[in-house]
């Protein structure tokens, strides 16, 4: 946090996903009294932050904002890994495979420009070099590829647990509880006095940060229901052949096949080879959603294996996760003050690419809350810039 003496206060942070955890930790580390509240706890399977792993990449298709955030976050994840002595980050590399023409080739070109401008270590591979480097991947249709060798994956669930433990060691307080939507009776003149739990208990504070992902539209329907869409997503873990390390890190990087809907991760810590068919999903209620995987998307994942990883075409499914995205129409995240309550802050709208940026989001949120100003928050993340719409 930059210079100046910032007022110390009591902050209630609602939501123990990556945004809430990093914000709570940074607030506590800078001297604030912090109470973190979550309905099921850090790393729980209903949370958007709760799966085994997440991609961290610096190529961002020309978005200098998020490319820069990725580079900064990558170094912070690595630093905290050293500090805490817990494996959080696998720098197994990120491989961009260009299988289609425009606009995918243009997107990959903009990623290359991101990497060059940020001086991120990378390689550009032609089709022959690609085939020699990764014989376990079918080269059919691959025109060229880009490798970020120092990027990779964050162990998401483990990272959430490590962040929660660090927060408690720093003197933070955690409460298991379900926060209800603020009512007029909970607010004073342009401020919130307390949050109400489903147990009828009241938690008072000076400032409140709501960073509860897919539950945000339900807590603030008038403000966020038309700004954030919560949709179903599914990921699948397949078992490589016995004794075969070709599909595990470090022999295989995180992979993205531009021109298709699929991306995935190598087997990390023997969890299995992950495939995500990143297709539009139906709207869901994250509390009540049935989390059994669908046969339709499983077949989509298997088609991806057959096309690009033929030696895994018949691999057994060893695990599947059903989670959700909470996306804005323009895929920017939201970090802003509530327009009607000056001591209420909103952090959400992760749009499928939030987890990697957790360290930067937490720093920005903590600074804004402590200073009462939004000077450091990019305009793209403000509510005034977040498109509204019923159908998206």
Domain map (residue ranges) of the chain? 10-49+157-228+330-385, 92-150+229-325
Class at the top of the CATH hierarchy for domain 10-49+157-228+330-385: alpha beta
CATH H-level, domain 92-150+229-325: superfamily: D-Amino Acid Oxidase, subunit A, domain 2 (3.30.9.10)
pLDDT tens for the 392 residues of the chain, in order: 443 445 689 999 999 999 999 999 999 999 999 999 999 999 999 999 989 999 999 999 999 999 999 999 999 999 999 999 999 999 999 999 998 777 888 999 999 999 999 999 999 999 999 999 999 999 999 999 999 999 999 999 999 999 999 999 999 999 999 999 998 778 877 899 999 999 999 999 999 999 999 999 999 999 999 999 999 999 999 999 999 999 999 999 999 999 888 999 999 999 999 999 999 999 999 999 999 999 999 999 999 999 999 999 999 999 999 999 999 999 999 999 999 999 999 999 999 999 999 999 999 999 999 999 999 999 999 999 999 976 66
Residue 313: CB partners within 8 Å, gap ≥ 6? Answer: 302, 305, 306
């Amino acid at each position: 946090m930059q210079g100046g003496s910032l007022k110390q206060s009591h902050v209630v942070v609602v939501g123990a996903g990556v945004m809430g955890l990093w914000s709570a930790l940074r607030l506590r580390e800078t001297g604030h009294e912090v109470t973190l509240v979550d309905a099921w706890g850090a790393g729980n399977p209903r949370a958007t932050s709760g799966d085994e792993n997440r991609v961290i990449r610096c190529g961002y298709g020309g978005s200098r904002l998020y490319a820069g955030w990725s580079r900064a976050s990558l170094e912070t994840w690595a630093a905290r890994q050293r500090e805490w002595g817990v494996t959080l980050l696998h720098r197994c590399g990120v491989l961009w495979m260009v299988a289609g023409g425009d606009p995918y080739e243009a997107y990959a070109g903009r990623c290359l420009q991101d990497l060059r401008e940020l001086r991120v270590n990378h390689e550009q591979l032609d089709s022959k070099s690609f085939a020699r480097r990764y014989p376990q991947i079918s080269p059919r249709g691959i025109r060229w590829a880009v490798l970020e060798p120092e990027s990779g994956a964050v162990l998401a669930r483990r990272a959430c647990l490590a962040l929660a433990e660090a927060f408690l060691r720093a003197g933070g307080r955690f409460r298991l509880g379900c926060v209800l939507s603020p009512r007029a009776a909970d607010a004073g003149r342009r401020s919130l006095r307390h949050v109400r739990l489903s147990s009828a208990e009241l938690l008072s504070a000076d400032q409140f940060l709501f960073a509860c992902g897919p539950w945000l539209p339900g807590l603030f329907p008038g403000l966020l229901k038309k700004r954030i869409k919560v949709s179903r997503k599914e990921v699948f873990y397949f078992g490589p052949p016995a004794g075969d390390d070709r599909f595990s890190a470090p022999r295989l990087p995180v992979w993205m096949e531009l021109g298709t809907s699929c991306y995935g991760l190598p087997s990390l810590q023997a969890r299995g080879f992950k495939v995500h068919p990143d297709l539009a999903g139906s709207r869901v209620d994250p509390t009540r959603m049935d989390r059994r995987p669908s046969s339709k998307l499983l077949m989509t994942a298997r088609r991806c294996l057959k096309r690009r990883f033929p030696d895994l075409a018949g691999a057994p499914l060893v695990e599947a996760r059903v989670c959700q995205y909470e996306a804005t129409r323009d895929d920017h995240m939201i970090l802003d003050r509530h327009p009607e309550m000056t001591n209420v802050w909103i952090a959400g709208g992760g749009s499928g690419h939030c987890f990697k940026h957790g360290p930067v989001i937490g720093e920005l949120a903590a600074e804004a809350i402590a200073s009462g100003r939004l000077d450091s928050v990019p305009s793209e993340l403000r509510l005034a810039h977040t498109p509204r719409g019923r159908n998206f």
